[in-house]
C-alpha cells in the first residue's frame, strides 16, 4: 500500500505532497498544524503544534 500526505503552508504558497511510511502516515491527523521537515523531495518529519508545545 502507498501512503501519501499533503501539507499546505499557513501563509499561502504551494501544497507539498510526500510519500510516507505507514507508521508516519498514521501519526497524522487532518487539520493538524505544526512544523514540517523535508529534504528535497523526501519527507523527514512533522511535529504537530499543540497548546503544550507552542
**Does the pLDDT at position 15 exceed 70?**
yes
The domain 3-48 is placed in CATH, from the list 3.90.420.10, 1.20.210.10, 2.30.42.10, 2.40.50.660, at: 2.40.50.660
What is the reported pLDDT for 53?
A: 52
Determine whether 16 is exposed, middle or buried from the number of CB atoms within 10 Å of its CB (0-12, 13-18, 19+): middle
**Does the pLDDT at position 51 exceed 80?**
no
Amino acid at each position: 500500500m502507498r501512503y501519501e500526505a499533503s501539507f499546505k503552508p499557513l501563509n499561502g504558497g504551494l501544497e507539498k505532497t510526500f510519500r510516507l511510511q505507514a507508521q508516519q502516515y498514521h501519526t497524522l491527523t487532518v487539520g493538524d498544524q505544526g512544523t514540517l521537515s523535508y529534504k528535497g523531495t523526501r519527507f523527514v518529519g512533522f511535529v504537530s503544534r499543540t497548546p503544550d508545545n507552542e
